[in-house]
């Protein structure tokens, strides 16, 4: 009877402190049952199922909060992004494509700066000279010197003569520079009233070639000496 009373008292205490009875494991093995029978070790019953479920829910709620505070969500997101990243491999290079059609011609560019003037090219010079005196009859045109030039060129002509009278009559002398029979220059000078070479006349012109001559016609009888024609070949003649 005394043992039964003791067991009943222990049962009441276990009902008052269920969490304590849940923390203590139930003894197992033959020795445990033997000790319980002898009174050396108390026997505890399993807690109710509702209490076990409540304690488990409390443990999960507290553990979940701690897990969230340590950044578990960020870890899961990083892991998901890492898994979602595609794993690609670069394949071999493909063959060259066909050549495209030629594009339209571009607009012309602006004109460049003019270059420096080049060195003068080679030129040819021609000279005809007659130093002796040539008589000039009054009222007659007389050729005192002439020069033949290659045709098809461009030449600058200079002709000169020294004039003098044969008496004290004086008068004017008219001289003409001719290309064949066509005049290309002319001029006149007055002779002094003495028999001496006291006047000089110089004429210039341009020609494309052929026979060039200097002809003089005095009012009174006169004479000409030191007659000369010079021709210089040029690249281009520009006339105005």
From residue 164, how far is each of 17, 137, 223, 225, 232 by CA, in Å?
168, 12, 5, 9, 29
Residue 140 located in a structural domain:
yes
Residue 115 located in a structural domain:
no
Residue 108 located in a structural domain:
no
Instruction: Return the closest-CA partner of residue 123 out of 151, 152, 156, 159.
Output: 156
pLDDT confidence of residue 27 = 46
Residue 57 located in a structural domain:
yes
> Strand 142-149 to strand 210-218: parallel, antiparallel, or no bridges (unpaired)?
antiparallel
CATH code at 219?
Answer: 2.60.120.760
Q: Name residue 191's beta-bridge partners.
A: 171
Instruction: Return the closest-CA partner of residue 173 out of 184, 161, 163.
Output: 163
pLDDT in tens, 209-225: 999 999 999 999 999 99
Residue 100 located in a structural domain:
no
Residue 93 located in a structural domain:
no
Place of tokens 């505070």: 69
pLDDT confidence of residue 235 = 85
132 and 223 inside one domain: yes
| Contact of 214 with 227, CB cutoff 8 Å | yes
133 and 228 inside one domain: yes
Residue 36 located in a structural domain:
yes
Q: How many Å apart are CA 190 and CA 194, to the nearest integer? A: 12
64 and 131 inside one domain: no
DSSP 3-state of 127: strand
Residue 23 located in a structural domain:
yes
pLDDT confidence of residue 37 = 46
Give the range of the structural domain holding residue 55, as residue numbers without chain letter.
2-81
Q: What is the pLDDT along the chain (240 residues), one digit of tens a residue?
A: 445 545 555 555 554 454 444 444 444 444 444 444 444 455 555 666 777 777 777 666 666 655 555 555 555 555 555 555 555 677 888 888 898 888 898 899 898 898 888 776 668 899 999 999 999 999 999 999 999 999 988 999 999 999 998 888 888 999 999 999 999 999 999 998 888 888 999 999 999 999 999 999 999 999 999 999 999 998 888 877
């Amino acid at each position: 009877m005394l043992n039964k009373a003791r067991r009943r008292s222990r049962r009441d205490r276990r009902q008052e402190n269920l969490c304590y009875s849940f923390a203590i494991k139930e003894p197992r093995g033959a020795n445990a049952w033997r000790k319980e029978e002898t009174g050396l070790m108390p026997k505890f019953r399993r807690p109710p199922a509702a209490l076990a479920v409540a304690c488990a829910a409390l443990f999960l709620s507290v553990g979940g909060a701690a897990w969230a505070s340590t950044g578990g969500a960020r870890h899961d997101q990083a892991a998901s992004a890492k898994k979602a990243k595609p794993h690609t491999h670069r394949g071999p290079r493909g063959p060259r494509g066909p050549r495209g059609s030629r594009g339209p011609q571009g607009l012309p560019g602006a004109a460049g700066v003019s270059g420096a003037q080049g060195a003068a090219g080679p030129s040819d010079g021609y000279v005809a000279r007659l130093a002796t005196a040539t008589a000039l009859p009054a009222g007659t045109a007389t050729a005192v010197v002439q020069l033949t030039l290659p045709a098809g060129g461009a030449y600058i002509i200079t002709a000169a003569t020294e004039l003098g009278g044969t008496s004290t009559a004086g008068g004017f002398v008219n001289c003409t520079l001719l290309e064949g029979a066509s005049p290309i220059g002319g001029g006149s000078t007055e002779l002094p009233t003495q028999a001496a070479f006291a006047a000089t006349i110089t004429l210039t012109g341009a020609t494309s070639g052929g026979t060039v001559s200097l002809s003089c016609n005095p009012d009174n009888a006169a004479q000409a000496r030191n007659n000369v024609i010079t021709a210089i070949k040029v690249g281009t003649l520009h006339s105005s």
